[in-house]
Structure formats: structure tokens, C-alpha cells
């Protein structure tokens, strides 16, 4: 039979079209797409995206999560936390999450500038926090990551308490934040932040309490366990997000010890601050404004907390 070139071409085209149509019908048949990045001073309200996983019941109530950024938003998936399906390894444990600053602080400078007792001296009640050059605020970032972290820990069985959920016009002050963790008899407290340093200063760091004693402050009992908590978070944060420890603090360890933070000085339970990156550096800002990266950050913190609590 003579060779029919046209028939061969038609068959090749049909096979190519069939393969394309098959891929188009399968969610995730290609590489996952990065979620849109955020900008502006306030994130847009979350939309009811089709297919978004349902959150598990949260241990705290308040304003809804700021999830502008689409895919990669806050999820209740246990698999996303890295735990085995059905795992309740943190049942009976209490974790307090402290979202740094408050979106309303910008409108209440008089209140947040009032000084409070931090044991060793007096310091401003709170600050507004920093922002990216495009105007994405630290307060919006910390609340979003805190919601994601809450969901991951709740999925593992932990009781989670937020120091605030933007349900109040400003604050709470740094001394009240410490008291919330103490009153909850928390097994661990994590204060979520992002830094505002010079361009070129990149990476995350975890702030640990120094040994402080003065007035109502005495950190002797929490210095050791807080370091253990912080080391676990630094390790998992680096592995999960793929980011490096700070190149400007901590000598490459990702750990920084401070004695001037009221939230640490006044704590009677293990507590650390996590500075997830530098909002003023364009490369770090690109990460911090990605909803997908923020989910990784929350998972890294959650894994670090779990490692500490599971011993």
C-alpha cells in the first residue's frame, strides 16, 4: 500500500489534541501556579473561592482571616501541616499565638505611645509595625500568618488562643500580650512579626528571651525552654520555606537574644518572637506578599512548635 502522508499527519494531530484535552480536565496536571501577590495598605476581604478547603473549628473567635492572595490561603488540611491524617499529637496542649501589632494602631497613635511597665523599664504600649514599599503592612501580614498557624495547630489537636484578632481598635499593649499567654498557662507562645531593616538585609530570625530580672520581670525559668522552642522553629522554618537565616543578626544561626522586649521579659511561659523576613528588602518583600509562601511560613512555625511540644 502506498504511504499516505496526510493520514499520518492527521493521526498525530488527533493524538496531540487528545493529550491536551486530558490535561485540561485534570486539576494540577501541570506545575502549581504561584498565587497573586498582595499590595496596598489593607488586604482585600477574602472571597469564597470554589474548592477552598474547609477550616476546622478554631479555638479562638474574632475577625475573619485576611486572605487576599487567593490560592495558598489558610487551610484546615492536616496534610498541609505535615502531620499524618487524623493525627492529634498536640491534644491537651495550649499554644498562644500573638499577631504582632494591630491594623488599627495607625489610627490610635496616642494610645499606643503611652508607656507601660516591662519589668526592667517602661516602653511604648505598641507600635504600628513596618510595611513593604508597596504598602503591605506588617500588621496585615502577622494576622494572616497567625490565622494559618492557628488552623494548622488546631488540626493537630492543640487548643489555640490569639492575643487579638483585629476585633479591637488598637493594641493590646505589650504587657497585656504577655499576661494573655501567662493566664492561659500556655505550653508555648509565639509572637509573629516581620522586620523593617535596610535593603540587602535578608532572611528570618527567631528572638529568644535573655536572662532578665527586675521589677515584675524574671525570665530565669523560661530562658532554657524558650531557646529549645526557638531552635525548633528556626530549623523547620528554614527547611519548609527554603529561606536562609538572617544575614544581619544572629551570626547565621537565625537566633537573636534580647532583653528589651516586654513581651518576653514579662512572660512566665516559654515564648519567642519570629521575624519572618525583612519587609523593606524587595526580595524578601516578594516572599512575604505571597500567600503561598505565607502558608509555608505558618507550616514551618507549626512544625517547630510541634517538635518542641512532642519532645
Told to judge if 275 belongs to the known catalytic residues of this protein, a careful annotator would answer yes
Reference 230, options 211, 248, 256; nearest CA is 256
3-class secondary-structure state, position 98: strand
CB atoms within 10 A of CB 93: 19
Residue with cell 516591662: 118
Measured CA to CA, the distance from residue 311 to residue 303 in angstroms comes to: 12
Q: Is 15 exposed, middle or buried (0-12, 13-18, 19+ CB in 10 A)?
A: exposed
Measured CA to CA, the distance from residue 299 to residue 311 in angstroms comes to: 18
Full 3-state SS string of 162-197: ECCCCCCCCCCCHHHHHHHHHHCCCCEEEEEEEECC
Measured CA to CA, the distance from residue 152 to residue 158 in angstroms comes to: 9
Q: Is 7 exposed, middle or buried (0-12, 13-18, 19+ CB in 10 A)?
A: exposed
3-class secondary-structure state, position 102: coil
**Cell numbers describing residue 92:** 491537651
Q: Which of 38, 138, 275, 310 is catalytic?
A: 275
Measured CA to CA, the distance from residue 9 to residue 129 in angstroms comes to: 63
- The answer to whether 174 and 119 have CB atoms below 8 angstroms apart is no
- The answer to whether 219 and 264 have CB atoms below 8 angstroms apart is yes
Measured CA to CA, the distance from residue 255 to residue 245 in angstroms comes to: 8
Measured CA to CA, the distance from residue 188 to residue 209 in angstroms comes to: 13
By annotation, the residues acting in catalysis are: 275
Amino acid at each position: 500500500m502506498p504511504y499516505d502522508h496526510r493520514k499520518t499527519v492527521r493521526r498525530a494531530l488527533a493524538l496531540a489534541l487528545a493529550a491536551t484535552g486530558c490535561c485540561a480536565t485534570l486539576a494540577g496536571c501541570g506545575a502549581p501556579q504561584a498565587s497573586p501577590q498582595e499590595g496596598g495598605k489593607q488586604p482585600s476581604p477574602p472571597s469564597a473561592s470554589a474548592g477552598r478547603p474547609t477550616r476546622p473549628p478554631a479555638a479562638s473567635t474574632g475577625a475573619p482571616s485576611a486572605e487576599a492572595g487567593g490560592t495558598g490561603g489558610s487551610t484546615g488540611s492536616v496534610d498541609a501541616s505535615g502531620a499524618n491524617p487524623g493525627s492529634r499529637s498536640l491534644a491537651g496542649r495550649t499554644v498562644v499565638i500573638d499577631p504582632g501589632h494591630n491594623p488599627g494602631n495607625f489610627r490610635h497613635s496616642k494610645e499606643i505611645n503611652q508607656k507601660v511597665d516591662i519589668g526592667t523599664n517602661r516602653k511604648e504600649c505598641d507600635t504600628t509595625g513596618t510595611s513593604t514599599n508597596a504598602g503591605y503592612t506588617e500588621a496585615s501580614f502577622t494576622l494572616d500568618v497567625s490565622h494559618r498557624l492557628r488552623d494548622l495547630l488546631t488540626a493537630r489537636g492543640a487548643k489555640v488562643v490569639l492575643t487579638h484578632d483585629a476585633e479591637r481598635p488598637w493594641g493590646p499593649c505589650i504587657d497585656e500580650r504577655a499576661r494573655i499567654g501567662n493566664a492561659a498557662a500556655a505550653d508555648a507562645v509565639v509572637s509573629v512579626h516581620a522586620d523593617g531593616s535596610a535593603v540587602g538585609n535578608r532572611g528570618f530570625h527567631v528572638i529568644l528571651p535573655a536572662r532578665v530580672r527586675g521589677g515584675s520581670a524574671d525570665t530565669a525559668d523560661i530562658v532554657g525552654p524558650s531557646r529549645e522552642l526557638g531552635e525548633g522553629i528556626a530549623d523547620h522554618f528554614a527547611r519548609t520555606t527554603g529561606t536562609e537565616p538572617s544575614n544581619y543578626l544572629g551570626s547565621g544561626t537565625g537566633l537573636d537574644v534580647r532583653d528589651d522586649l516586654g513581651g518576653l521579659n514579662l512572660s512566665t511561659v516559654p515564648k519567642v518572637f519570629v521575624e519572618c523576613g525583612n519587609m523593606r528588602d524587595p526580595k524578601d518583600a516578594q516572599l512575604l506578599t505571597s500567600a503561598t509562601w505565607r502558608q509555608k511560613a505558618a507550616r514551618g512555625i507549626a512544625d517547630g512548635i510541634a517538635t518542641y511540644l512532642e519532645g
